[in-house]
Chain A
Amino acid sequence: MAPKSVSEVVAVLSEQGDRAKLLAGGTDIIVQLREGLREADVVVDIKKIEEVTSFNYCPENGLSLGSAVACYNLYEHPELSKLYGALADSTHIIGGWQIQSRASVGGNLCNASPAADSIPSLIALNAIAVIAGPKGERTVAAEDFCTGPGRNVLENGELLVSIQIPAQCSNSGSAYERFIPRNEMDIAVVGVGSWVKLAADGTIADARISLGAVAATPLFAEQASAILIGKEPNEEVFSAAGELARQIATPISDMRGTDEYRSHLVSVLVKRTLITAVERAQN
């Protein structure tokens, strides 16, 4: 079914509970249903709903990104791709071109993979998830949205309507990088998103660093972010932030890499993404 309003979706979800699954780009849910990882009696296509399929930016309120907006809309957009560099980086490497034509950032967030490429960018950019449900609307910070691998804060009857990302100014910049052994089409061994805002004197006025694939959920590296504030942006400072970020990583060892290797990658990628984020903020 393909309802035309959020309230209809809430009604279906409230009635069907776990037996209803939402369909945005379908690049995760169709595979999961086909492979028996999830089950559903009803699949609800939310792409007929204006609020979840549209996006708009204004300098006062920032970006309002409907939860079903496909990845390509971000990295192909001449202004948004510059304003939200980290999100453009992420959306351009989620799957291949065919996947990016359909997959949405909202879906990537709801799917709650620890290795999701867009979630560290959302956390670094201080994004807020707008959730509709039977009791009305509520908001949750991106870093609090995922509760475990494949699990999120959505309760019975609730859906993610949009993601709100604060407006960016000319002296802010962000970047996302992941490490993968292939060139593309792979799952992050580690992913890091960084955002910085520079003061008029060139020092770091504010910063947010986020880590993916090193814990059960993507993490906000609060202390690593905090020590950057007031500092000159240089390699020494970035390395210090990388070391602090590394300390909150609790990675597992699997076929993609050992825990030790992943921890090492955290400090490398924190440094690299900070360098790019600062460069973008300076330009």
Chain B
Amino acid sequence: MSAYKKVHVTTTINGEQVDFLCEPRHSLLEVLRDSLGLTGSKEGCNNGNCGACTVILNGRPVDSCLVLSAEVEGAEIETVEGIACNSNLHPVQQCFLEGAALQCGICTPGFLVASKALLEKDPDASEETIRFDLSGNLCRCTGYDKIVRAVQAAGQQMREI
């Protein structure tokens, strides 16, 4: 049965071409974490509610738990590991740190990836837009206020660059 044969996938992750073998049922999140050692993306709910596994797939934020790994043949993927430029943190990372926009940290990689995508689309995003566009990322610690403020601060930095 073809469903149980391993699939060979070639894709680009954080600018580097990557090859892997996966079972058709494996999610992108499972491959990232278990096969490729990219454990920055977190498994929270594994059903598309929490956003902790958010990655950028072909320019759009997606929940990697809801993408089958076999689907990413030829795709461009960016994970939280690819956000910083060498040793320089991305403004969203720096602002999350400075604004203490995290507590336990499980949701943080997803928030960073989604926030970066949001600010690249609209560095001038209003608080309302930020809250709406980040509604697919859940945080049970911070109460969101510090996260929203960190994203606003990062937006300001990105506008100034």
- Which residues of B in the span 115-135 have a Cβ within 8 Å of any Cβ on A? 117-118, 131-135
Residue B49 contacts which of A33, A183, A185 (CB distance < 8 angstroms)? A185
Residue in B closest to A47 when the chains form the complex, CB atoms: B71
A97 & B133 in contact (Cβ 8 Å cutoff): yes
28 A-B residue contacts at CB 8 Å?
Answer: A2-B71, A23-B71, A25-B66, A26-B67, A30-B68, A31-B47, A31-B48, A33-B25, A34-B47, A35-B47, A40-B3, A43-B3, A43-B24, A47-B71, A72-B60, A95-B48, A96-B137, A97-B118, A97-B133, A98-B48, A98-B66, A98-B136, A101-B60, A102-B62, A102-B63, A183-B132, A184-B135, A185-B49
Residue B136 contacts which of A43, A72, A96 (CB distance < 8 angstroms)? A96
For the side of the interface on A, what is the size category? 20 to 34
| Nearest Cβ on chain A to B144's Cβ, whole angstroms | 11
A42 & B67 in contact (Cβ 8 Å cutoff): no
Asked if B109 is at the interface of the complex by the 8 Å CB criterion, the answer is no
Residues 69-106 of A, flagged 1 when their CB comes within 8 A of B and 0 if not, give 00010000000000000000000000111110110000
Chain A residues with CB below 8 A from B135, complex form: 96-97, 183-185
Interface residues, chain B, with chain A CB atoms under 8 Å away: 1-3, 24-25, 27, 46-49, 51, 54, 57, 60-63, 65-68, 70-71, 114, 117-118, 131-137
Q: How far apart are the CA atoms of A99 and B27 in the complex, in Å? A: 15
B68 & A98 in contact (Cβ 8 Å cutoff): no
B136 & A34 in contact (Cβ 8 Å cutoff): no
| Nearest Cβ on chain A to B4's Cβ, whole angstroms | 9
| Nearest Cβ on chain B to A224's Cβ, whole angstroms | 31
Q: A31-B47, A34-B46, A42-B2 are in contact. Are A98 and B54 (CB under 8 A)?
A: yes
| Nearest Cβ on chain B to A184's Cβ, whole angstroms | 4
Q: How far apart are the CA atoms of A33 and B68 in the complex, in Å? A: 12
Q: How far apart are the CA atoms of A41 and B3 in the complex, in Å? A: 6
Residue in B closest to A32 when the chains form the complex, CB atoms: B47
| Nearest Cβ on chain A to B130's Cβ, whole angstroms | 11
Asked if A140 is at the interface of the complex by the 8 Å CB criterion, the answer is no
A101 & B62 in contact (Cβ 8 Å cutoff): yes
Q: How far apart are the CA atoms of A45 and B71 in the complex, in Å? A: 8
B1 & A99 in contact (Cβ 8 Å cutoff): no
A-B pairs with lowest CB-CB distance, top 9:
A96-B136, A101-B60, A184-B135, A98-B136, A98-B63, A31-B47, A96-B135, A185-B135, A101-B62
Chain B residues with CB below 8 A from A35, complex form: 47
Residue B63 contacts which of A33, A40, A45, A99 (CB distance < 8 angstroms)? A99
| Nearest Cβ on chain B to A242's Cβ, whole angstroms | 28
Chain B residues with CB below 8 A from A199, complex form: none
- Which residues of A in the span 6-36 have a Cβ within 8 Å of any Cβ on B? 23, 25-27, 30-31, 33-35
B114 & A98 in contact (Cβ 8 Å cutoff): yes
Chain B residues with CB below 8 A from A97, complex form: 61, 114, 117-118, 133-136
| Nearest Cβ on chain B to A9's Cβ, whole angstroms | 15
Chain A residues with CB below 8 A from B136, complex form: 95-99, 185
Q: How far apart are the CA atoms of A43 and B54 in the complex, in Å? A: 23
Chain A residues with CB below 8 A from B67, complex form: 26, 102
| Nearest Cβ on chain A to B90's Cβ, whole angstroms | 19
Chain B residues with CB below 8 A from A99, complex form: 48, 63, 66, 136
Chain B residues with CB below 8 A from A45, complex form: 68, 70-71
| Nearest Cβ on chain B to A278's Cβ, whole angstroms | 25
Q: A35-B47, A97-B136, A99-B136 are in contact. Are A27 and B66 (CB under 8 A)?
A: yes
Residue A26 contacts which of B66, B117, B131 (CB distance < 8 angstroms)? B66
Q: A99-B136, A184-B132 are in contact. Are A1 and B2 (CB under 8 A)?
A: yes
Chain B residues with CB below 8 A from A1, complex form: 2
A43 & B68 in contact (Cβ 8 Å cutoff): yes
Chain B residues with CB below 8 A from A72, complex form: 60
- Which residues of A in the span 37-51 have a Cβ within 8 Å of any Cβ on B? 40-43, 45, 47
